[in-house]
Structure 1
Amino acid sequence: MSASQSSSRRDLIRLAAAAIGGAVLPGFARAGVRPETYSSGEIVENGHRFFGSISRGLAEGLEKANKQWGRPNAYILGQEAGGAFVGGVRYGEGTMFTRNAGQKGVFWQGPSIGLDAGADGDRTMMLVYNLPEVNSIYRRYAGVNGSAYLVGGLGFTALNNDEVVVMPVRAGLGARLGLALGYIKFTPDSTWNPF
């Protein structure tokens, strides 16, 4: 991918999320180190700082997720944009935080298909459960995504690949209604290819 394509993708994502987000700085990470977990209080505090006043449902959603999967050992803060009319795509970028392996810049993209229409720009916090090592994030995570909001909203989704679960928490602007099956794929570099 050329530098201009990468730059235009970043500009598109930032433009779609501009009303609700700022830039996220890239970081670094050590491969081969299993990240330590984060407490519910730490995640809720970071969520409040990241989402602001929209985050009232964050603590309740986190409590339910922690009962099912334990405590997250990584989380991602970023921004994304997506759109759909039956088939859809989503593109995002952010920084993955781990307690003992530092920060790592990540990109994600993915297709979806279903009864889904609309467009949205979101600030996204992704909680990552059971990540065996930092570089294990780079794979596809499948799941069902439902959206129902006009102007703005907060939504939770659970995606998985084997034992690793990624739970995106999205607070965004746009108009979106539907239910779709799809996946997101994490990559270390920006790409327009959603597959």
Structure 2
Amino acid sequence: MTDRRRHLQHLAALASAAALPAWAAEDPDSTYDEESVLKAATDFFGQTTEGLAKVIEKAFKDQGRPNAYIKGQEASGAVTVGLRYGDGELLMKGGGSAKVYWAGPSIGFDVGGNASKVFTLIYHLPKASAIYQRFPGVDGSLYYIGGAGINYQRLHGIVLAPIRLGVGLRAGASVGYIHYRREKSINPF
């Protein structure tokens, strides 16, 4: 592939990614507003923190209004190579819900472990079953006692924004993917 063609594909991908938040904001009846997401996240986490409010505000600024979210919990650990396992419930605006399990490997400059409650904002999910696939992502996190973090995962126009409030100590940056499934599996691949 030529450099020019790669450059054009990269520009097209950036242009389509920039258009995604506008699409989400077009239909308020099928998306969640920031206030209802903050209330749902606060109810789920059992507390509100300035960090949580800022993370949600950032997600809305970056991506617009989500049309679904997952409430769940996960555990992860890494020493260069990491693993993450979790489960939760997917809720879509306008109806639709599903049980979701996830697992995935990562590799990078990453060490430590943590247990987290996870509230994942989801953008452009056409139907609940579309969540069941592998979402690549880059994770740069610093977890500390009571810490909050967010990263983005994108695949086929669907964007996931997991917000984690957890306990433990995990620092570093890694690349990997998360495989969302209908059934629990210990296989992270």
With the shorter chain as reference, the TM-score category is 0.7 to 0.9
Structure 1 stretch displaced more, 144-153 or 38-47: 144-153
Considering only aligned residues, what root-mean-square deviation do their CA atoms show, in Å? 1.5
Alpha-carbon displacement from aligned partner over 1:155-195 (angstroms, at most 9, x marks no partner): 01111112100000000011111110111110000001111
Aligned ranges 1:103-182 → 2 under 5 Å = 103-182=97-176
Structure-2 separation of matches of 1:37 and 1:130: 9
Q: CA deviation at 1:47?
A: 0.8
Q: Which one-letter code corresponds to 1:84 in the other structure?
A: A
**Structure 1 residues 152, 59: closer, same or farther in 2, change over 3 A?**
closer
Task: State the TM-score, normalized to the length of structure 2.
Answer: 0.80
- Residue 104 to residue 110, structure 1, CA distance change in 2 (3 Å): same
Q: 1:49 aligned to 2:35?
A: no
Between Structure 1 and Structure 2, whose CA radius of gyration is higher? Answer: 2
After superposing the two structures, state which structure 1 stretch, 179-188 or 63-72, moved more. 63-72
Which segments of 5 or more consecutive residues in structure 1 lack a partner in the other structure?
1-34
Query: Could you tell me whether the CA contact under 8 Å between 2:73 and 2:117 is conserved in 1?
Result: yes
Amino acid at match of 1:143: G
Maintained 8 Å contact 1:140/1:184? yes
Question: Which of the two has greater helix per residue?
Answer: 2
Give the TM-score normalised by the residue count of structure 1: 0.78
The C-alpha deviation readout for 1:78-112, integer Å capped at 9, x for no partner, is 00000000000000000001122332110011000
Question: How much does 1:143 deviate?
Answer: 1.3
- List runs of 5+ in structure 2 lacking aligned partners: 1-28
Q: Decide whether the 8 Å contact of 1:54 with 1:171 is kept in 2.
A: no
Shift of 1:130: 0.7
How many positions carry a matched residue from both structures? Answer: 161
Percent identity between matched residues is: 42
